[in-house]
Chains A and B, each alone.
Chain A
Amino acid sequence: MSSVILSTAIRLLLPLLLLFSVFLLLRGHNEPGGGFVGGLVAAAAIALYALAEGAGAARRLLKLDPRSLIAFGLALALTSGMIPLLFGQPLLTGLWLPFPLPVLGHVGTPLLFDVGVYLLVAGMALLIVLSLMEE
């Protein structure tokens, strides 16, 4: 399944798509977007790369095993929910930094939660796609 057009295009598209996925993740709190769709876009980008260059190349590009992404994402989402417990608040209460950060804007535990969702969704989609390709 090697195609010159696809593999040339993906070299340009991959960074753009990944950047776009992070953009979707970060703007999600105020504009359409969010961790779920961001994760899907990231997974789609890498899946496209895998279609063009093979699953092994995609894994090398990814460096991390998709299973670790899933575990890390779930752990991150859980941690973000636990942080309020340290401040005596109920689980999953949204806590925010009092001042906006450059580029990121307002930062709080919900953003951390969304990053967890992003990683988990991307990891899940990639786990299935890559396992199917390698079978």
Chain B
Amino acid sequence: MLLALVMSGFLAALAAPVLYHFVPGWAGRLCPLLPLALFACLLTVAGQVSAGTPLVFSLPWIPSLGVSFSLYLDGLGLLFALLVTGIGFLVFLYTPAYLDDDPRLGRLSAWLFAFMGAMLGTVMAGNLMTMFVFWELTGLCSYILIGFDHEQEESRRAALQALLVTGGGGLALLAGFILLGNIGGTMELAELLLRGDAVRAHPLYLPALLLVLAGAFTKSAQFPFHFWLPSAMAAPTPISAYLHSATMVKLGVFLLARLTPILGGSEAWLWQVSGVGAVTMLTGALLAVKEHDLKRILAWSTVSSLGSMILLLGIGTPGTVIAVMTFLLTHALYKSSLFLTVGAIDHVAGSRDIRQLGGLASGMPWLAVAGILGAFSMAGLPPLLGFISKEIVYSATLQSNMLPQILSGLFLAGNALMVTVAVMAGVGPFFGRKPDTPLHPHGLSPLLWLSPLIPALFGLLFGLFPGSATSFLIEPAVRAVSSPSVNVSLALWHGLNMELLLSIITLALGLGVVLFRRRLIALLPSSSDGFRYGPSGWYRLLLDGVPIVARLQTRFVQDGRLRHYLMISIGVAMGLMGLTFLQSGGLPGDLPFPTGYLHEWLTAGIIVAGAVTVTLTDSRLGAVAALGTVGYGVSLVYILYGAPDLAMTQFCIETLSIVLFVLVLYRLPLFTLLSTPAVRLRDAAMATAIGGLMMLLMLYVISQPLVPHVSEFFLANSLSLAHGRNVVNVILVDFRALDTLGEITVLAVAAVGVFGLLKYRSAGGNEP
């Protein structure tokens, strides 16, 4: 069941393009059915999961490393899975209308399905490695979906930025997971969840925590990695709504919530998680107020909301966990509704600039209802869920045992700015005068207003009847994170208390900021400064720096002269081998005096004579022939010492190389002596040194006693295990076939490289 839930997304990803190709009219109607079906499936198990018995599924994957493909669906996973499928349904409903039957819809749907599968896999993962694989898959899908308009440079740059930032965090996360698995002694989540105390007491706890946090913070766009999220708005709006506000960016929050029982509760966790969250919450909110583009406003406000969730998780009391889960649901509902509203506005009016928009309510009343409900929930007005969630947050911060006044103050500031953003994004475009927009507002497809209206209505429904949301969504999730005994009861009316007062102050402050927004913006540092000195500036510096360093290093090591390449690689090899040789204590004193038959001496003489001729001759053909002599001499040595396979191969190679040389020589200019005597002397010294060193090494090797058991194994088992009498061949194709596979792959790659170089030259390309 769990496996089917996760894998159906990937299967649908394969099917979607086919559907769109053959039945384009129906595909758009069929696609939303899958997320809807999955949503219904999840609801059927919700009762069992909420009662505290998680669903599990496990397949062995790499048992020797403790890695298995495990799925684990508990209250926390269920909340996320319902959001993923529910909002997925809306997005699939909305996208065909938004893109006006764009021919790329098939591809887009495929990636959206794959993304949905990856998300479900991440939130239902029961093993750290399973989670990591799906986690990275979401990042990959995000990369492709941000770069959907791949013909635009901005999209490509934004996609790459998101990939590099989250992918870099992903690497840290992998390291963190491995550390965590080693500390806890298992990769299985269900077992790890019980070993929190042992993990926290371990000396490697801090590094593991920092690495995991790096993964979570990059994914959830926390300061100083917050800059990638607004750039990701280059994606089409339904994608932004799905990935970059409602689901994927919440994975960082999910991860921290998931690992709270294992990693949470320590001093380091408290300060780092809540510190980063607080900075992000305020930075995001301030940057949101400055923007004019609706999508960027919403993106920054998402950053801010994620920051507040992280901040609450950092404090980690049961009260704050309740607040996080309530706010998470609230945020997913109102933000998806606002994003989809903005998409519809963009679609009909052709603009997302708040200075160009106004008075749209008369033309599209239902869209206005969706937008305003979303905005009111965001601003925390009763009777919407947003109001309840804000009250819960305030009550959690007021009861916090750590600096309750400062915490509440921070949230007051953040929430007030959210009120401002809500008015700017959800209310402003619908009222006031009607300026000229690039497109004349035209009729709106019902799907474009229905999709944003549904989550907005859920925000209202849950606000009026909070009990329905608590019992099967919020309480199980809180119990999974905090402790099984926590009870959650939400209510619209808490009486006249401090929380209500704070809510009223928040609203007043937020509306005040709306009035004085221009003056506030003037006080903030200009965005170009932020671009130059802020984190996105560091990112650019890093991105530009890598090629510069690579260029410098290449210019130094690979200056385009073959002789220097050889010198560097031989020199390095010599240095390393010489060092090892000296460290091993040098040669033993009593080396045997060389003996041998006449024909052996003659063979050695041929090889030496060939080598000397190569260096002294002033004809290219002569040098090639002499080099061939050396090669044939060596294969003669192989024959003399009983290695016919080697000898044959060497013989063929020599023949082919001579053919190649002749083909190349044919085209080279006449031989001239270009190097000065000093350079020749240096090369001679180099050559003598490497030759001498190799000789010393060989002498050293033969002076050591032979370790026979490997070759004995091969000799003894060649016929019985591998059905062959030729041990050399058996080693190549059976015992060490993996090595051979690697080698022939290298050969193939090298051949492609040679081919490329030759064709590049003959196509008229210039040498670099």
Contact = CB atoms under 8 A, between A and B. Distances in A.
B102 interface: no
A43 B656 contact: yes
Interface in A66-83: 67, 70-71, 73-74, 77-78, 81
A132 B728 contact: no
Contacts of A78: 741
B660 interface: yes
B130 to A, nearest CB: 21
Contacts of A134: 762
Size bin of chain A's contact surface? 35 or more
Contact of B733 (A30, A35, A48): A35
Interface in B396-452: none
Interface stretch (B223-231, B300-308, B753-761): B753-761
Contacts of B706: none
A67 B754 CA distance: 12
Given A29-B726, A132-B663, A124 B751 contact: yes
Contacts of B553: none
A91 B740 CA distance: 13
Contact of A131 (B667, B740, B755): B755
A67 B726 contact: no
A34 B744 contact: no
B729 A132 contact: no
A31 B729 CA distance: 9
Interface string B637-655: 0000000110011001101
B637 to A, nearest CB: 16
A40 B635 CA distance: 15
Chain A interface helix/strand/loop/mixed: helix
A117 interface: yes
B656 A47 contact: yes
B548 interface: no
Contact of B737 (A30, A37, A110, A133): A110
B738 interface: yes
B667 A120 contact: no
Given A81-B737, A92-B737, A29 B744 contact: no
A32 B726 contact: yes
Contacts of A31: 725-726
A92 B738 contact: yes
A86 interface: no
A74 B744 contact: yes
B737 A113 contact: yes
B733 A127 contact: no
Contacts of B721: 94
Contact of B741 (A33, A92, A125): A92
Contacts of A51: 659
B733 A120 contact: no
Interface of A: 24, 28-37, 40-41, 43-44, 47-48, 51, 67, 70-71, 73-74, 77-78, 81, 91-92, 94, 96, 106, 108, 110-111, 113-114, 116-117, 120-121, 123-125, 127-129, 131-135
20 contacts: A29-B726, A33-B726, A34-B645, A34-B726, A43-B656, A44-B659, A74-B748, A77-B740, A94-B723, A94-B737, A110-B722, A110-B724, A114-B733, A117-B732, A117-B733, A121-B744, A124-B750, A125-B656, A129-B663, A135-B762
Given A28-B726, A35-B733, A120-B748, 14 more contacts: A34-B732, A37-B648, A40-B656, A44-B652, A44-B656, A67-B755, A94-B734, A110-B723, A113-B741, A117-B732, A124-B747, A124-B750, A129-B663, A134-B762
Q: Which 3 A-B pairs have the closest CB atoms?
A: A40-B652, A32-B644, A29-B724
